[in-house]
Amino acid sequence: MPEITVSAEIGGKTFQFSTGKLALQADGAVVARLGGIEMLVTACANKALREGIDFFPLTVDFEERMYAAGKIPGSFFRREGRPTEQAILAARLIDRPLRPSFADGFRCETQVVVTSLAVDNENPFDVVALNGASAALMVSPIPFLGPIGGVRMALRKGEWIPFPTHAELDESVFELVVAGRRNSDGGIDVMMVEAGATEEGVRLVKAGDPPSDEAAVAEGLEAAKPYIDQLIQLQLDLAARVTPREVEWPVAIDYTEEILHKVEEVAPAHLEEVIRIADKRERSAAEEKALAATLEAIGLSGDDADPVQVAMAARAFKYVSKKLMRRRVVTEGVRLDGRGPTDIRPIVAEVGVVGRTHGSGLFQRGETQVLTIATLGMLKMEQLLDNLGIDESKRYMHHYNFPPFSTGEAGFMRGPRRREIGHGALAEKAVLPVVPTEDEFPYALRLVSEVLSSNGSTSMASVCASSLALMDAGVPIIEPVGGIAMGLIYEEGRYVTLTDILGAEDALGDMDFKVAGTADMITALQLDTKIQGLPSEVLREALEQARTARLHILEKMREAIPAPRPELSRWAPRIEAVEIPKDKIGEVIGPKGKVVRELEEETGATIEIDEDGNVGIVRIASNDAEVLKAAKERVLAIAYPPEPEIGKVYEGEVVNITKFGAFINILPGRDGLLHISKLDASRRVERVEDHLKLGDRVKVRLAEIDRNGKLSLDLAEPLGDGSEGEAPTLEPAEQATGPKQERPTGSKQERRSEGDKRRAAPSFEETFERMRKG
């Protein structure tokens, strides 16, 4: 097949999709381009059903290739390893709008792989990959109900701009990734939203930029729709020029009409009381009994029952249960646990829960309970990033753990999975905008959220617990951030928005979204919906209902701790930054790091040195205030040494010994020469080592500073009468003639030549002595 290419200018940027040249054995393959970005996206599906599952087995992989950015991987083997956090988040972003967009009953194993061919470090590449994934499915025979269009919007100076560059995002308050598809009326239905305030967003709002409040976000969602429509049209133009091969895909049948009819006749009577049980475990146990009673009533109990029909009946029972729960919410306004649509479960907020940590916060909402621990460290503990992004490191990290005991189950304690990576990133995105800058608070921060009990919205509970932990640690955050999970049900022509959804309500709703923010603005938003033609006013009302809940949660948090503590925890390191001249950095570090290592060993403080423009920044950390003070004084003494005073007595250390004298360190970075002739005024000294050794402490007086700044010293006190200071003992025969002289070696001519050299060139000692005497 010849290469087919379509392109269009959308939002001031040129998008291009090509197919027919690369990856020809894939069911669908497209190269998506924007600026200097090139993403190869392939789609493949197995031709047989995956038996025994009741979900769609879709996998999306984002393969980061460092050559795309002109880099060699920094790992030991110099090749890419497991997916980075950025790759996982990009894959999740693509997965969310694609997953609900396949034909009913399609259960064949499907894989979408994005391979980064080139990035330009100017434009974000995840949205390009999202559109490429949809285009690859559109040119394949896979039963995909697309296309899906995705666009990134940025709120800059109160205006929404499409496809912002990284530089434009730095100047923006908020960014919004929106994915959608066309409905039967030709309009655009929003399917997925991933949004958050930028790192400087809150500070920009404080400086006067319009905030990312509920009205602004709803406006941004509407502003995204024309660009989504254009991207959809471009994909349709590509698909119209491709004729994919025909494939008869097998269709999974969850249950037959006959079994559904039988279950619908029997199950409601057993479920009527079940859906009114508030406690999660009690309700689960009652639901199992109701299922068993239903199977018995329709003749599918016992060992002789057909297992295929039993599985169908169980799926039909689940469908009927979900339908009854939804109807009760819409008609009676009562939810599973007896609450009304806008009611929030009881909230408990505590700080200082765990001793010896730098900060801890416990947030509990109903049966959902999260404990977050904050740990502070020096900036050298920030996370180094080896990915395709433009950032090389990050100092604020949030990690989220979801152990099996949080749902009352036994299971493997594995490393973080994609879901945990995603939830941690969402909480990190929500809180980062209120974290003080590096200049204001020179610490690396790591927060770990431990989910201890789960029944809905653990990610938003992590946001709340993180704010509590940071304030408990004494981190001067701008404002606390709270979060809430919302749901929406559309039934019988009516929309009902649910506040603080349970885990079960998350599955039975038509839209779920999580909103986090301060009292004045949204800092993070995640939304997924399956509703066709959702009215914009309904979405606005849902966001406003979420704001009311968020303000209630923030008030409960303030009752636990109204503001960040004025002092850091006694267990947290104190870090003080000292600014020094750039040319003094080398002196503080010393040869091969000798000086800075000695400072750390002798004071017990931790020291890191950085360069910032024309100055050096020395950061000193210690849990002990006295240690911090001592280390700071030592650093300042090196960077800004006191001027030596002529005539002043100093106690110094012998740091070097030569034939003509000893060098004594009297001030940080200042050594002076104590000439050999000054060691003993009563007699001639032949060897300096007979009087001094390295490391000796001696009192000296500064005698002179020459025009080159060199110091000349005198003894302030006579050296001790130890053996090292005594004159050598002479043999009786030497009393008159002096000590024996060693016989010269070498030929007569060589000795004469050596003597001529000594007479021709004065020694270093003689030169120094002449200079000292002027």
- What is the C-alpha to C-alpha distance for residues 39 and 114, in angstroms, rounded to an integer? 7
Q: Is 341 strand, coil or helix? A: coil
Residues 176 and 206 sit within 8 Å (Cβ to Cβ): no
Q: Is the dihedral of CA 176, 181, 182, 183 positive or negative?
A: negative
Q: Is the pLDDT of residue 665 over 80?
A: yes
Residue from 44, 30, 95, 37 nearest 239 by CA = 30
Specify the higher pLDDT residue, 162 or 283: 162
- What is the C-alpha to C-alpha distance for residues 141 and 148, in angstroms, rounded to an integer? 16
Helix, strand and coil in the chain, % to nearest 5:
35, 30, 35
- What is the C-alpha to C-alpha distance for residues 41 and 358, in angstroms, rounded to an integer? 45
Give me the mean pLDDT over the 200-214 stretch.
95
Looking at residue 762, its pLDDT comes to 52
For 363-405, write each residue's pLDDT tens digit: 999 999 999 999 999 888 898 888 898 888 999 999 999 999 9
Q: Is 732 strand, coil or helix? A: coil
Looking at residue 40, its pLDDT comes to 98
For 524-571, write each residue's pLDDT tens digit: 999 998 777 778 888 889 999 999 999 999 999 999 999 999 999 989
Q: Is the pLDDT of residue 685 over 90?
A: no
Cis before 147 (ω within 30): yes
Joined tokens for residue 22: 């690369």
Q: Return the residue matching tokens 């010293």.
A: 713
Residues 449 and 363 sit within 8 Å (Cβ to Cβ): no
Report the percentage of the chain scoring pLDDT > 70.
Answer: 93
Report the percentage of the chain scoring pLDDT > 90.
Answer: 62
For residue 736, what are the CA distances in angstroms to 290, 543, 732? 122, 109, 8
Alpha helices in 354-457 (DSSP H): 418-431
Its pTM stands at 0.82
Half-sphere CA count of 10, side-chain side, radius 13 A: 30
Specify the higher pLDDT residue, 81 or 174: 174
CB neighbours (10 Å) of residue 2?
Answer: 6
Give me the mean pLDDT over the 621-648 stretch.
88
Q: Is the pLDDT of residue 71 over 80?
A: yes
Looking at residue 757, its pLDDT comes to 44
Q: Of 163-167, 403-407, 612-616, which one has max mean pLDDT?
A: 163-167
Classify 23 in phi/psi space as left (phi over 0), alpha (psi -120 to 50) or beta: left
Interaxial angle between packed helices 257-274 and 307-332, expressed in degrees from 0 to 180 and rounded to the nearest 10: 50
For 729-768, write each residue's pLDDT tens digit: 444 444 434 444 444 445 444 444 444 444 444 554 555 4
Looking at residue 612, its pLDDT comes to 85
- What is the C-alpha to C-alpha distance for residues 116 and 697, in angstroms, rounded to an integer? 65
Residues 110 and 98 sit within 8 Å (Cβ to Cβ): no
Give me the mean pLDDT over the 101-118 stretch.
95
Q: Is the pLDDT of residue 1 over 60?
A: yes
Looking at residue 24, its pLDDT comes to 94
- What is the C-alpha to C-alpha distance for residues 65 and 609, in angstroms, rounded to an integer? 33
Q: Which H or E run contains 16?
A: strand 13-19
CA angle, residues 599, 600, 605, in degrees to nearest 5: 115
- What is the C-alpha to C-alpha distance for residues 219 and 201, in angstroms, rounded to an integer? 18
Residue from 148, 210, 200 nearest 177 by CA = 148
Q: Is the pLDDT of residue 315 over 60?
A: yes
Q: Which amino acid is at 21?
A: K
- What is the C-alpha to C-alpha distance for residues 361 and 447, in angstroms, rounded to an integer? 10
For 249-300, write each residue's pLDDT tens digit: 999 988 999 999 999 999 999 898 888 888 888 888 999 999 999 998 998 8
Residues 308 and 331 sit within 8 Å (Cβ to Cβ): no
Give me the mean pLDDT over the 347-363 stretch.
96
Residue 114 backbone phi and psi in degrees, to 5: -105, 125
Residues 635 and 602 sit within 8 Å (Cβ to Cβ): no
Give me the mean pLDDT over the 346-364 stretch.
96
CA angle, residues 434, 438, 442, in degrees to nearest 5: 115
With a CB cutoff of 8 Å and minimum separation 6, the contacts of 515 are 483, 484, 486, 522, 524, 525, 543, 546, 547, 550
Cβ density class 599-630: b for 16+ within 10 Å, e for less = bbeebebbbbbeeeeeebbbbbbbbeeebbbb
Looking at residue 106, its pLDDT comes to 93
Looking at residue 536, its pLDDT comes to 80
Give me the mean pLDDT over the 37-61 stretch.
92
Looking at residue 400, its pLDDT comes to 96
Residues 120 and 36 sit within 8 Å (Cβ to Cβ): yes
Joined tokens for residue 126: 């995840």
> Where residue 37 falls among pLDDT bands split at 50, 70, 90?
very high
Q: Which H or E run contains 603?
A: helix 594-603
